[in-house]
Structures are given as C-alpha cells and as structure tokens.
Amino acid sequence: MGAKIKDVAALAGVSVATVSRVLSNGPVSAALRQQVEAAVQQLGYSPNLSARRLRSQHSQTVGLIVSDIRNPFFTAVSRAVEDVAYQAGMRVILCNADENPDKEAMYLRLMQEERVCGVIFSPTTVSARRFRPERFDFPVVMIDRAGPAGATDAVVLDNRQAAAQLTEHLLANGYRRIGGLFGNSGATGAERAAGYRDAMTAHGQKSDVRFVVPGSEAADHLVRQWLCEPARPQALLASNGLLLLGALQAVRASGLAIPDDIGLAGFDNDVWTGLVGEGLTVIEQPVYDIGAMAMDMLLSRLRSPTLANRLLVLHGTLLARGSTRPATHQVRIESSAAP
C-alpha cells in the first residue's frame, strides 16, 4: 500500500526514472518493463495523483458545475459530459451549485485551485453577468445559459423560439388566457419568457409572466394561489421540468381537469411527463447532445486556445400530447372565460 515509486525502483533494480517511464508508456526495453511491472504488482503500488499533477502541471480533469442535480436535464447532461470526457482520457469533477451564486463562485474558485484544464458551467443570471473569463486560467463552456455575449464558448437551446412555438401551440388549441411560469435564477427563464411574450403579443393576447424559484415546491405554491385568482389562466406554460411538476401538482390539487378546464405545457421531456393522464405537452431538449457537444467544444478549445468564441444553438422539438388537446375547446374554455 504505502509503496512509493522509489520502492518499486529498488525492488525492480532500476532507477525511478525508468519506473516512471514504464508507468507512462515511455521508451523502456521489454526486459526492464517486465521487471518493473512485476515489482508494481508485488508491492501493490499505486501512483500518487497529487504528486503526478504537481510535477506534470497537467490535471487531466475538467469541472462541471450544474445548477441543480435533481433536475433530470442536468443528470442527462452530466452523463454525456462524462462519456465524452472519459473517452478523451479526462476525469470530471461534478459540482452542484444549487442555483446559488455564492456556491457557484466557490466552486469556480475550487476549480482554479484544482488546476482543472477546463470547466463546463450553467450559471445563474447573476454569475453569468458578472463572469470574467480573464480571471480564470481555464477555458469555460457555458451550457443552458450563456454568459455575456461572446465572452466564452457556449451551447444553448434556442429558448426564445421554442417558448414561442409552445405558446403558439397553446393558442392554436384554443387557449387564450395563458399564464407563463418561469425560473427566476437563470437566463433561460428570461429568454423563454421573452419567447412566450412574442407569441402572445403577436396574437393580441395579454401576457402574464411570473418568475419563481426554480423548484417544484415553489411552483406548486405559486400556482395554487394563481388558480384562485378571479381570472384564472386557461392554460399554463412552465419553463422547465421541475416547474412543470409543481404546476401539475397544484392543478391536481385544485380539482381542475386537464386539458378541458386548463391546459398545461412546459419544457423538458422528463420521463413522467409522458405518463400522467394523456401525457403532458413539452418541448424536448436534446439533452444528451447538449452535454456531449459542450464537452467536445471544450476539448476543441483546449486544442486551439486562440480560436474565436463559438455559440452553438440547438433546437428543441415540440411533443404535442394530451394536456393541450381539449375535447371541445372553444366551448368549454370560452364559457369559463366569460362567466
């Protein structure tokens, strides 16, 4: 266990330099290589990564800072990042910042101390705005939410377009008074709100945007009250899977029927959205691809550090399901709209 490279060298009857070369597939004669490998085996030698990193000045490690690991979007992304990183011989340190700018700053500092060679980061609006790439020694790829325009590489969804498309879908299905529920911590929420507004005003409808802490509990709470207001919404659009979940719970509690009393749609094709009732209408994001491409982009950046910063925009796809398909829309909805 406590064996060092020196012990291996002694046992194999060679210099430490030779052992080091064996371990890193350097040029060593077959005979010596074998001796060294035997010695390694016999002593149960395990190299010390700290020493190795210190000397070689290379960590072979990237950081991944996500905003909420409970969100299936991020677990999918992190799997993808790991897969690609692993193939490139890199390790991943996964950090969960909990939508908390302080934690984000803390983790960025930690990444700096770890001397990682790059970071993939989904920042809150606060962190995104005040992010200064020059303060870090490593390149950063933003995901989900981009930072200051062009400041770093980024891969994002066309949130505005997607939200507009989803809103259009609700409008096309006869819903008029549509409420928009958005996360208040990331840029994503704001962009999706903008897309929602685009579509609403384009159709002459008044928009009703509400921002909330991005978690199902908060969404549930807010929607419960919302549904008690005199002019309660005929449909709800939620800006991510967690919010959609909260909204669904609130609607269930209210006793309103989906989709006839109220329509429900949102982002993220989380596994449960296809299972409740006749299914929830959602914008599906290419979750795995987002992670894989972000890691690809980071690797490419490490190869050519001087390249201009790139923004990669992906598109979501609308999955129209039962939650926005009222049997008799005009009728029921209009009647409930004008009591």
Partner DNA sequence: TTTTATATTGAAAACGTTTCCAAAACCAAT
Partner DNA sequence: ATTGGTTTTGGAAACGTTTTCAATATAAAA
Task: Name which position in 34, 41, 42, 48 contacts DNA (CB under 7 A).
Answer: 48
Q: The tokens of 55 are what?
A: 């000397």
Per DSSP, the three-state class of 267 is: strand
Task: Name which position in 4, 21, 32, 53 contacts a copy of itself (CB under 8 A).
Answer: 53
Comparison of 222 and 287: residue with beta carbon closer to a copy of itself: 287
Backbone torsion region of residue 308, taken as left when φ is above 0, otherwise alpha when ψ lies between -120 and 50, otherwise beta? beta
Note whether 74 and 241 are within 8 A (CB): no
Task: Name which position in 14, 143, 200, 262 contacts DNA (CB under 7 A).
Answer: 14
Q: The tokens of 294 are what?
A: 């972000």
What secondary structure does DSSP assign to 161-211, as a single string? HHHHHHHHHHHHTT--SEEEEEESSSHHHHHHHHHHHHHHHHTTPPPEEEE
Task: Name which position in 1, 27, 271, 306 contacts DNA (CB under 7 A).
Answer: 27
User: What is the pairing mode between strands 235-238 and 281-284?
Assistant: unpaired
Q: Under the criterion CB under 7 A, does residue 24 sit at the interface with DNA?
A: yes
Nearest approach in angstroms of CB 306 to DNA is: 23
Q: Under the criterion CB under 8 A, does residue 80 sit at the interface with a copy of itself?
A: no
Comparison of 18 and 234: residue with beta carbon closer to DNA: 18
Site track for a copy of itself across 112-141, x = CB under 8 A: xxxx-------------------x-x----
Nearest approach in angstroms of CB 309 to DNA is: 27
Task: Name which position in 1, 25, 31, 338 contacts DNA (CB under 7 A).
Answer: 31
Note whether 189 and 218 are within 8 A (CB): no
**In Å, how far from its chain's centre is CA 121?**
8
Paired with 282 in beta bridges are 266, 319
Site track for a copy of itself across 243-272, x = CB under 8 A: --x--xx--x-----------------xxx
Q: The tokens of 252 are what?
A: 């269930």
Comparison of 61 and 185: residue with beta carbon closer to a copy of itself: 61
- Residue 306 burial by CB count (10 A; 0-12/13-18/19+): exposed, middle or buried? exposed
Nearest approach in angstroms of CB 288 to a copy of itself is: 11
Paired with 319 in beta bridges are 282
Task: Name which position in 7, 23, 47, 320 contacts a copy of itself (CB under 8 A).
Answer: 47
Of residues 143 through 182, those in contact with a copy of itself by CB under 8 A are none
Note whether 167 and 174 are within 8 A (CB): no
Residues of this chain that interact with a copy of itself (CB under 8 A) are 1-2, 44, 46-51, 53-54, 59, 69-70, 72, 75-76, 78-79, 82, 91, 93-94, 96, 109-110, 112-115, 135, 137, 216, 245, 248-249, 252, 270-272, 275-276
